[in-house]
């Protein structure tokens, strides 16, 4: 049974009791991420995530790791465009101690100068690593095209320059501004009792005061000219990414786009997998996905392609997308897409960690959580006409953005631009 409590200081606590589970998963979510930054402090949210584990008011770095891992649990965190989450999965008898650690590192990190300098070096190496891995860097190039001159178009880790310039005072000010009760969701899943959990959290955090943090800079939802970014690098494989601006999280066609993504490239029976890999052998990896944010979104296709076949692969991918936009999909494809979505969704919710993330991310981004039954109903309600309408809108050639990394020369780049309908 799912329950939600809001403390007097606006901190929200959501739980899902999952009986006959040995594990409990807990996440402390903050409504802040990469898009809340600017050109001077880009990467600061990710930096804060790293520093939190270096030590807090009551726990040293060694204690943080040992007291969770020492009982068989796992502890980690992630930063996204709109959220930062500190989370753990432990045997349920260790929940109280684990939450004390999680809340302490997230609300009361030490942020010492020595830790800052050590972690700065680590993050600078992380940035270099991502730039050295074309399958990751191609996505950063794509985001620059999707959201130019905007925080969403810049890497979450920041740049070497911004990370090098961040000071202790910058990090403390950022943490004090955004890591406040008004901006927090605590989500828990497992064989737990809501009222008992609320008492534990309230004793630790109910006294905290806060404020409503600043909002982010709005991002664009549409474009009227296709764009491309080609990066020459001596690689054994071409790394290709296509992106179309999509829908925001609460858009009425969110689930229509989710199904479209599955049918185009979400599994081995999808159109792109069959046409690009199975029938023609043009790529080893090929797939599609979508991401929704508070005010914008993106539908993406990614592929790893033989260097000699990149022109043919891009041509086939675009033809598949255009055909679906023009003709839609078949009734059989739609049924299989619905069954696949529903099955994957419901299977994922059996795990306490996946369920905790679904609750926390959903409440943070949507301010409400649909029941699994409602989600399945929304999926089942999608029609062939819905798919065709959304495909026609999203897969518009004028909304196309193409990024590519590989051993390019001027002639090949020119040919690829013609195939994609891009101007020089």
What residues act catalytically? 49
Q: Which of 267, 275, 221, 262 is nearest to 244 (CA)?
A: 221
Task: State how far Cα 106 lies from the chain centre.
Answer: 20
Q: Which residue has the tokens 């008011």?
A: 57
Q: Mind giving me the DSSP string for 223-240?
A: -SS-EEEEEE---SEEEE
Longest dimension (CA), the chain: 67
Question: Can you state the percent helix, strand and coil of the chain, rounding each to 5?
Answer: 50, 20, 30
Give 331: exposed, middle or buried? Use CB within 10 Å, 0-12, 13-18, 19+. exposed
Distance CA 190, CA 351 (A): 9
How far does the chain reach from its first CA to its final CA, in angstroms?
57
Please answer whether residues 280 and 305 qualify as being in contact, where contact means their C-beta atoms are separated by less than 8 angstroms. no
Q: What are the φ/ψ torsions at residue 98 (nearest 5 degrees)?
A: -65, -40
Distance CA 25, CA 99 (A): 10
Question: What is residue 395's three-state secondary structure?
Answer: coil
Q: Tell how many helices (H) and how many strands (E) occur in the chain.
A: 16, 11
What kind and span of H or E run contains 283? strand 283-292
Distance CA 380, CA 88 (A): 34
Q: Which residue has the tokens 């009734």?
A: 331
Q: What are the φ/ψ torsions at residue 108 (nearest 5 degrees)?
A: -130, 50
What kind and span of H or E run contains 302? strand 297-306
Distance CA 25, CA 86 (A): 11
Distance CA 35, CA 59 (A): 30
Please answer whether residues 127 and 221 qualify as being in contact, where contact means their C-beta atoms are separated by less than 8 angstroms. no
């Amino acid at each position: 049974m799912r329950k939600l409590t809001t403390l007097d200081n606006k901190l929200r606590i959501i739980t899902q009791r999952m009986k006959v589970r040995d594990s409990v998963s807990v996440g402390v979510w903050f409504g802040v991420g990469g898009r809340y930054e600017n050109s001077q402090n880009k990467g600061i949210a990710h930096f804060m995530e790293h520093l939190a584990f270096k030590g807090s008011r009551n726990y040293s770095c060694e204690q943080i790791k040992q007291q969770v891992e020492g009982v068989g649990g796992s502890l980690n965190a992630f930063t996204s465009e709109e959220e930062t989450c500190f989370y753990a999965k432990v045997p349920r008898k260790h929940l109280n101690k684990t939450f004390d650690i999680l809340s302490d590192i997230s609300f009361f990190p030490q942020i010492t100068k020595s830790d800052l300098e050590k972690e700065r070096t680590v993050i600078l190496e992380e940035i270099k690593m991502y730039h050295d891995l074309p399958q990751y860097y191609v996505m950063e190039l794509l985001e620059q095209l999707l959201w130019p001159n905007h925080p969403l178009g810049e890497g979450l880790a920041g740049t070497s320059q911004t990370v090098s310039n961040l000071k202790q005072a910058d990090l403390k000010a950022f943490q004090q501004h955004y890591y406040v009760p008004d901006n927090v969701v605590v989500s828990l899943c497992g064989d737990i009792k809501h009222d008992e959990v609320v008492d534990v959290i309230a004793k630790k955090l109910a006294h905290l005061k806060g404020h409503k943090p600043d909002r982010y800079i709005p991002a664009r939802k549409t474009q009227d000219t296709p764009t491309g970014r080609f990066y020459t690098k001596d690689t054994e494989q071409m790394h290709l990414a296509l992106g179309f601006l999509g829908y925001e999280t609460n858009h009425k066609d969110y689930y229509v786009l989710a199904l479209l993504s599955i049918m185009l490239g979400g599994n081995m029976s999808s159109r792109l997998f069959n046409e690009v890999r199975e029938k023609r052998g043009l790529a080893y990896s090929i797939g599609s996905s979508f991401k929704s944010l508070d005010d914008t979104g993106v539908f993406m296709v990614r592929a790893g392609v033989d260097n000699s076949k990149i022109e043919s692969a891009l041509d086939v991918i675009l033809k598949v997308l255009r055909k679906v936009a023009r003709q839609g999909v078949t009734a059989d494809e739609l049924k299989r897409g619905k069954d696949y979505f529903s099955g994957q969704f419901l299977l994922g919710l059996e795990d306490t960690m996946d369920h905790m993330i679904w609750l926390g991310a959903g409440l943070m981004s949507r301010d409400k959580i649909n029941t699994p039954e409602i989600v399945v109903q929304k999926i089942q309600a999608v029609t062939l006409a819905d798919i065709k309408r959304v495909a026609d809108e999203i897969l518009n050639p004028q909304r196309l953005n193409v990024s590519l990394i590989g051993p390019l020369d001027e002639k090949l780049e020119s040919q690829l631009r013609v195939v994609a309908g891009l101007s020089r």
